[in-house]
């Protein structure tokens, strides 16, 4: 493999290289070597590697400004420079010392909120979720984003009033209009909650090491369409491990192989009825009320 041969020709960056006679060529060599190790040895994508250079440049500019602010006389001694750079080195090292220190810095500077732990049946079983209200408060902290949401909401209201036959927003739904909480506060925001399944597989292990997770996301419905699809405006609320087997699917009325029983997640249509036109058939939809009724039956049967 050419990549392995290339990496084998490079030793890790050592102090012996740094102790060589200093020159701009040595600086270029060290930095090129560093980027090459990130790309070829640690397999970082090129786009990630390209982000390093401008950030290092910004870091050096900040250090230079710190030197200027600490300079009390027109002449700055080597000892003063050494003290400043030693302090900067300690700061950089402390940030990446461990995961705890790194997350603390994220909390301090970027409003990072750690997941809240929930103890389940035993002390060894835990669940984690990200506080939804806190995530929304950070998201709506920007006054510019709030203005965008308000302008988009007013624009949709004006357009829908001109033509009642146009469905432009979920705000026009009867269920939302009839909600008592919305009547008390006209400045409410619509929040979409949805789930999606993901699969995580150990790339160096067998297929049986594949694990399925169900992720629950939230999205502000009143965002303009151009912003609604951006990844940074889609928030993760919680993640659950999914039991993808016949026993767990049977509880919800599903089966892994659809040769019998129910197979639709929105209604109770059977496999035999799948070819009948929708105009010639009626079926019972799956609703939260019916779901609660089934859960109550299961609980009562277990108690009995």
pLDDT bracket for residue 138 (50, 70, 90): confident
8 A C-beta contact, residue 34 and residue 13: yes
Q: What percent of the chain has pLDDT over 90?
A: 0
**pLDDT per position as a tens digit, 154-205:** 888 888 788 877 777 777 777 777 765 666 666 778 888 888 777 777 666 5
**pLDDT per position as a tens digit, 11-38:** 444 445 555 577 767 777 777 788 878 8
Q: How many domains does the chain have?
A: 3
260 in the same domain as 231 = no
208 in the same domain as 267 = no
Output the six-digit token pair for 265: 């997640």
92 in the same domain as 17 = yes
261 in the same domain as 232 = no
Q: Is the pLDDT of residue 146 over 80?
A: yes
pLDDT bracket for residue 65 (50, 70, 90): confident
pLDDT bracket for residue 207 (50, 70, 90): low
Q: Is the pTM of this model over 0.75?
A: no
Q: What residues are paired with 194 via a beta bridge?
A: 217
Is residue 116 in some structural domain? no
Helix boundaries (H) for the chain: 2-8, 15-18, 24-36, 46-50, 52-70, 78-95, 99-110, 132-139, 143-162, 174-177, 180-184, 225-228, 246-251, 288-303
For 294, the domain range is 253-304
Longest Cα separation, the chain: 92
């Amino acid at each position: 493999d050419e990549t392995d041969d290339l990496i084998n020709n490079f030793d890790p960056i050592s102090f012996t290289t740094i102790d060589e006679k200093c020159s701009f060529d040595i600086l270029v060599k060290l930095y090129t070597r560093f980027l090459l190790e990130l790309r070829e040895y640690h397999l970082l994508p090129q786009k990630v590697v390209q982000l390093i250079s401008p950030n290092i440049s910004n870091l050096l500019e900040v250090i230079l400004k710190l030197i200027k602010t600490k300079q009390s006389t027109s002449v700055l001694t080597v000892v003063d420079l050494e003290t400043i750079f030693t302090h900067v080195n300690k700061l950089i090292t402390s940030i990446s010392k461990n995961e705890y220190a790194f997350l603390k810095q994220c909390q301090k500077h970027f409003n990072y909120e750690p997941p809240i732990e929930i103890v389940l049946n035993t002390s060894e079983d835990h669940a984690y979720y990200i506080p939804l209200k806190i995530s929304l408060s950070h998201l709506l902290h920007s006054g510019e984003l709030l203005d965008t949401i308000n302008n988009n909401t007013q624009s949709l209201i004006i357009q829908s009033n001109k033509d009642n036959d146009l469905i432009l927003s979920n705000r026009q739904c009867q269920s939302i209009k009839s909600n008592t909480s919305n009547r008390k506060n006209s400045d409410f925001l619509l929040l979409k909650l949805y789930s999606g399944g993901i699969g995580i597989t150990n790339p160096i292990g067998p297929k049986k090491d594949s694990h399925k997770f169900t992720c629950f996301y939230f999205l502000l419905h009143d965002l303009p369409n151009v912003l609604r699809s951006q990844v940074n405006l889609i928030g993760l609320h919680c993640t659950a491990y999914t039991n993808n087997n016949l026993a767990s699917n049977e509880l919800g009325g599903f089966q892994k192989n659809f040769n019998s029983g129910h197979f639709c997640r929105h209604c109770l249509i059977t496999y035999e009825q799948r070819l009948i036109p929708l105009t010639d058939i009626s079926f019972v939809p799956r609703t939260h009320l019916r779901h609660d009724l089934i859960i109550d039956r299961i609980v009562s049967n277990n108690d009995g």
